[in-house]
Structures are given as structure tokens and as C-alpha cells.
Amino acid sequence: MTKQEIANDIAQMLDEYYPTTPIPLDHKDPYTLLVAVLLSAQCTDERVNKVTPFLFEKADTPQDMIQLEVEEIKAIIRPCGLSPRKSKAIYDLSQIILDKHDGVVPQSFEALEALPGVGHKTASVVMSQAFGVPAFPVDTHIHRLAYRWKLSNGKNVEKTEKDLKRLFPRESWNKLHLQIIFFGREYCPARGHDPVACPICSKYGRRTMFA
């Protein structure tokens, strides 16, 4: 089979396993999603969802966030890890959103990626999930699965994103990246993975798995 044929079959399988794709991070608007995605770096969505209610009870807008001290933000988000860096980024991006964007989360990759603590992957998540703009956020999990499934060579996340965008229709990107995340958690984890039991790896997986 060609790589495109494998991609088409995988897309069909993912639609069967996950016809609906709820956004894993709890939020109520683009700003709270942005903060939640920033907190999710090197942290599970489950843990982020336990922490954000306490943070958003105190501040769920840029205006309210800058009324908090950075140390106060850091104390709340400590369970998410990297709290010194993340707390400063949350405070600083909130100030910039107020100063440069009239208190509204900007709707462009360029403006989002210019915010402290916001890289291309975080910007892609916000653009796709908050604003419905086609994007294909690639984190380490999607990067790993794309290699396992022979959809990319595993060189780097940038190459993986380009490969996936080429293989799948633009209108499917926003849903598909969530489907891959859900599938990976349930059937294709980083550790303790059984390629024989995995519905996709058993058909298309590499013999040498990418950790």
C-alpha cells in the first residue's frame, strides 16, 4: 500500500473509533483555552483540568489575571509543573493581550506565537479549537504515532506536521488531530504498548517503535 492509502484507511478507522471529538481541556472561551493549553506543556490534560478551576475562579480574563501576583499564579498552577516559567508567561501574555489586542485573544498564528510561552503547537490548538481555523497541532504524542504508522519519518515535529497536512484533507485536520490523541491514549501509548493488540499498529506499525 502507498502512504496515501495507509493514511486514508487510518482516517476511516479513526472516524469509526472516535466519531465525535470533544476538546480535552476544559475552557469557556479562547482566553481560558489559551491558558489551559499553555499549562498542558509537559503535563497531562487531566491534571490541567483539576488545576484550572482554581485559577479561573480567581481570574478567567486578562483583566483579572494581571490583578494577581505572579507568585500567586505560580502557587495555584504548581501541580502542572514548570510553574515559574508558566506563571510569568500567563501574566505577561495577559498584559500583552490587553495592551496590544484590546483584551481579546488574537486570531492569527503570527500574533499568538508572539505571546510569551506560546509556540506553534499551542497557537495551532487555539486557532483550531477556539476559532475553527484548519490547523494540525503536532505534539510529541502525534509525532510518535505518525512515525509508528509510517506516515512520517520521525525527523522532527515540523516535518511530521507537513507530512500529515499533505496526507489528510484540510477540512479534517481539526478533528483528526484530536482523534489521533484519543486513539493514542487508549490503544497506542508511549509505554507498555502492544503493537499486536493495537488496531492500527497491527496493520501498519513499524517493527521498531519510536519511543
**Catalytic pick among 60, 74, 86, 121:** 121
Cβ atoms of 153 and 147 closer than 8 Å: yes
Q: How confident is the model at residue 176 (pLDDT cuts 50, 70, 90)?
A: very high
Higher pLDDT, 95 or 140: 95
Taking domain 3-21+136-204, whether its CATH number is 3.40.50.720 is answered by no
Which residues belong to CATH 1.10.1670.10 in the chain? 3-21+136-204
Return the pLDDT at 209: 45
Which residues belong to CATH 1.10.340.30 in the chain? 30-129
CATH of domain 30-129: 1.10.340.30
28 is catalytic: no
Higher pLDDT, 179 or 210: 179
* Whole-number Å distance between alpha carbons of 88 and 66: 10
Cβ atoms of 169 and 162 closer than 8 Å: no
What is the rounded average pLDDT for all residues in the chain?
Answer: 95
DSSP one-letter code for 170 = G
**Catalytic pick among 60, 74, 86, 139:** 139
Sign of CA pseudo-dihedral 23, 27, 30, 31:
negative
Burial of 126: CB neighbours in 10 Å, binned 0-12, 13-18, 19+ = buried
Count of alpha carbons within 13 angstroms of residue 38, beta-carbon side: 26
* Whole-number Å distance between alpha carbons of 5 and 77: 44
139 is catalytic: yes
The reported pTM is 0.92
Residues 197-211 have pLDDT tens digits of 999 999 998 754 444
Residues 127-136 have pLDDT tens digits of 999 999 999 9
Listed residue (124, 104, 103, 102) closest to 113, CA to CA: 124
